Amino acid sequence: MKWIARHIRRAFILMILALVIEYLVLPLIPGIKASLHSIGRVNVAVLLVGVALEVGSLAAYVQLTHEMLPRPSLKRTYLARVDLSTLALSHVVPGGTAPSAGLGYRLLTNEGISPANATFALGMQGVGSALVLNAIFWIALIISIPIDGYQPLYGIAAGAGVVMIALFATVVFMLTKGQERLLVTVGRICERIPLVNANKVTELLKDVAHRLVALTADRQLLKRAIVWAAANWILDAASLWVFIAAFGTILSPVDLFIAYGLANVLAVIPVTPGGLGIIEGILIPTLHGFGVAKTTAILAVLGYRLVNFWLPIPVGGATYLSLKIRAEGWQKGRIEFKKYSESHPSIDQDNTHKDAASGSLPDERNPAYEPPDDQIPQT
C-alpha cells in the first residue's frame, strides 16, 4: 500500500507540473510555435558552454555549503549529492526552500553533522545567498537606471530585498545582542506547543548563535562565503547570457543582471516550485524590452531553464537514491557489526566509534568525511 501511495503521489505532482506548464508558462510566451523555426540557427557549441557554466554554478553552491560547515567537513562529493537532492525537491514541491531545507537537514545530520551546525549551514546558505543576489541586482540597478530609466517592477524587487535584509538584520541582532531575551521568549512559546522540547529548541538556538558569532569573527571565512555565493549567481547568469548569445544576440551584462536579478528576486515568492512560470514570465518580456528579439528571448530562456530547472530534477532524484541506498547499506553493516561485537566482548563497545549509520565514526574512519582544513578552526 505504501508503494502504491508513493507512486500516486508522484503522479499527482507530475500532473500539477503539467498543468502549471500548460496554463501558466505557455500563455505567458505567445508565439512559441512560430519561434521553433529559429532553433536551426542555434550554435550548439556555445550552448555547451552554457551547460558548463551551469555546472560551475552548482559547484560553487556546493563549495558554499562546504564553507558553512565546521571542520572536519563532509566530502564535497557527498555535499554535491545533498545539494542536488534538495534542489530537485525544491523544483517539484512548492513552498519555497522549506521542504528542501528539511531534506538537507536530515541528510546532513544522518552523517553526524550536529543539528545546530546543519541548521546554521542551511540557513546561511539560503539567506546569505539571497542577500548576495540582491546586492548584485542593486548594483546593476544603480548602473542601469541613469541609462535605461526606471521601471515600477524595479521598485517592487528592490523593496522585497530591503524587507529581506531588514528581517535578516533583526535575526542576527536577536541571536547576538539580544540572545537571552530571545531564548526566554522562544522557550516560553515552545512550552505551550505539544510534543516540542523547549530545552532542545533553546539549546539549538544558542548553538546557532555561537556559530553566527564565529562566522562574523572569521573575516576570511566570511569573504570566502560571499565569493562562492556570488560565483553561484554570476555563473548562473552567465549561462543565461550564453544561451542568448547562442542565437546570435549579445546582451549588455548590466541588462542581463537586471533581467536575471528581477526574475530571481521575485521568484522567492513560494507560489510555484522553483519559480516555475514566474522566472520565465519575467525574463522573456524583460529581455525583449532590452532589445532581444522575442523569438530569441523565448528560445534562450526555455533552453536555459531546461538546464537550470528541469535537468536537476532527474539528476537530483538519482543522487538522492544513491544516498538512500548508501544509508541503508551502512545501517545493515552497523547491525551486523553489533551482532559480531556482542559475540566478541574484546571489541570496543563504544557506540560513538562504530555507529556508521549516523555518521558518528571518527572522522578519519567515516568515508563521507575529508581531512580537516587547518585554515578554519573546528567549532
Burial class of residue 89 (count of CB atoms within 10 Å of its CB; 0-12, 13-18, 19+): buried
pLDDT value of residue 236:
97
CB within 8 Å of 57: residues ≥ 6 apart: 231, 232, 233, 235, 236, 239
Burial class of residue 177 (count of CB atoms within 10 Å of its CB; 0-12, 13-18, 19+): exposed
pLDDT value of residue 358:
40
CB within 8 Å of 134: residues ≥ 6 apart: 161, 164, 165, 261, 265
Q: Is the dihedral of CA 286, 291, 292, 294 positive or negative?
A: positive
CA dist 56 and 133 (Å) reads 17
CB atoms closer than 10 angstroms to residue 221: 17
Q: Is residue 251 part of a domain?
A: yes
Q: Is residue 355 part of a domain?
A: no
CB atoms closer than 10 angstroms to residue 142: 10
Where in the sequence is the domain holding 306, given as residue range(s)?
41-327
CB atoms closer than 10 angstroms to residue 67: 22
Q: Is residue 332 part of a domain?
A: no
Backbone angles phi, psi at 184, to 5 degrees: -65, -45
pLDDT value of residue 315:
93
Q: Is residue 15 part of a domain?
A: no
CB within 8 Å of 225: residues ≥ 6 apart: 64, 67, 68, 124, 128, 215
Q: Is residue 33 part of a domain?
A: no
CA dist 306 and 309 (Å) reads 6
pLDDT value of residue 352:
43
Q: Is residue 336 part of a domain?
A: no
Q: Is residue 335 part of a domain?
A: no
Burial class of residue 82 (count of CB atoms within 10 Å of its CB; 0-12, 13-18, 19+): buried
CA dist 275 and 310 (Å) reads 12
pLDDT value of residue 112:
84
Domain count across the chain: 1
Tell me the pLDDT of the chain (379 aa) as tens digits: 454 456 456 655 665 665 565 445 555 555 555 555 556 677 788 999 999 999 999 999 999 999 989 877 788 999 999 999 999 988 888 766 777 888 998 999 988 888 888 888 888 888 888 889 988 988 888 888 777 776 766 776 667 667 766 776 776 667 666 667 766 777 778 777 776 676 776 766 666 666 676 777 778 988 999 999 999 999 999 999 999 999 889 999 999 999 999 899 888 776 778 888 889 989 999 999 888 998 889 889 989 999 999 899 999 999 999 888 876 655 555 555 455 555 655 544 444 444 443 444 444 445 566 655 554 444 4
Q: Is residue 277 part of a domain?
A: yes
